[in-house]
Amino acid sequence: MAINLMLVFLGGGIGSVLRYLVGVWVSGWTPMNFPWGTFLVNIIGSLVIGIIYGLVLSSSQTGEIQKLLLITGFCGGFTTFSAFSYENMALLQIGAYDRFLLYALSSVLLGLFMVFVGYKLAS
């Protein structure tokens, strides 16, 4: 159990730091009237989780260590549903219904598509 916790802790820490760095990087070149940083990490994270999932399933080993480190830890730390929800609420509160619809729908649909693409790439 302690090893499992350490794997999740390590992967989550790396994912969280990378999420922060992507947000800083994106804020330097995009207008912030749309939550591009969270959008980008969620889409990239969906692709990565699909690839990892496909690799783990196609492996002859169970891949429990990889799942804990990479899926639960890294992807859990890298992507962020709470920030996604907050940013959607903020868009609704300022009456930016067009950006809310664009952000919410494209994040969910593109995220699901990228999991599928990642899975297909890996399997």
Phi, psi torsion values for 80, nearest 5 degrees: -150, 105
Which residues are annotated binding-site positions? Answer: 76, 79
Phi, psi torsion values for 94, nearest 5 degrees: -95, 5
Angle at 122 between CA 42 and CA 50, to 5 degrees: 25
How far is 114 from 110, CA to CA, in rounded Å? 6
How far is 91 from 112, CA to CA, in rounded Å? 22
Work out the number of other CB atoms within 10 angstroms of the CB of residue 21: 12
Which residues are annotated binding-site positions for Na(+)? Answer: 76, 79
